Amino acid sequence: MSDRPNSDRRDMFKAAAMEIACQRGYEGATIKRIAEKCGVTVGSIYHYFENKEELFREALQERTFAAVLEKLVDEIEDLPIEEGLFQVALRFVSVLRERMNLFSILAAESLHNTEIGSLFSDVSRRNSELMKSYLDGKIAAGQLAPIHTGIAVQMFFGHFFNSFLHKERLHMQHLPQIDDEFIHQSIRLILNGWRQEDIHA
C-alpha cells in the first residue's frame, strides 16, 4: 500500500477507525486493530496521526453534520428563511439516518470517556456556531425577530433529533413520518413563534 497518496491513506485509516468503532466502540477501536484492518503496521498510522484521539477527531469532524453545515450555510444564504431552514433540517435528518449507529455508540461512551466526550463537545459547539451565525444574519436582514439564537438553535436541532429518535429508532408508530411535509410543517410552526415582534433576546 506504499503507493497510495497520503490523503488516501489518511482516509483509509479514518474509515477503518469508524467501522471498528461501530462494532467495538471507541475503546475497542485500538490503533492495533485499525492497522490490522488496513494491512499496515501500527507505526504507519502514527506517521499520519499523532495519536488515536487526533485520528478520531479528524474522522468525526468529517462525518458529523458540522461538515455538511459548513458548506450548506453558503448555499442557503440568499434563500428565504423558511427554505433555508428546510434544507438544513432535511440534511440533518439524512445524516442521522446514515450515521446514527456510530453516533449512538460514541455518544454512550462519551458519558464515561473524557476523550470522546471532548470530541462530541467540539462537534456540537461547531454546529451551534454555524447555525447561530446563519440566524444572526437573518435577524440583521429583518427576516427574524431579535430572538436568542442560542436557544433557537437548541430548539431547532432538538426537535428534529428527538422526532427522528422516537419515530425511527424507538419505532413509536403513532408519531408522524419524518418526511418533507413533516419538516415543512415543523419549520412553519417554529417560525410562527420566531417571527413574532414581541419576542426578545
Please state the domain extents for the chain.
6-52, 64-194
- Most confident range (mean pLDDT) of 55-59, 61-65, 96-100, 159-163 is 159-163
Average of per-residue pLDDT across 136-140: 95
Q: For residue 201, is pLDDT > 70?
A: no
pLDDT of residue 111: 83
Q: Which residues contact 55 (CB under 8 A, 6 or more apart)?
A: 13, 14, 17, 31, 34, 45, 48, 49
pLDDT of residue 5: 62
Secondary element (H or E) of residue 35: helix 31-38
Q: What is the dihedral of CA 61, 42, 20, 27, to 10 degrees?
A: -80
6-52 folds as Arc Repressor Mutant, subunit A (1.10.10)
64-194 folds as Tetracycline Repressor; domain 2 (1.10.357)
CA distance 7 to 101: 26
When pLDDT is cut at 50, 70 and 90, the band that residue 195 belongs to is: low
* pTM score: 0.81
Average of per-residue pLDDT across 146-158: 94
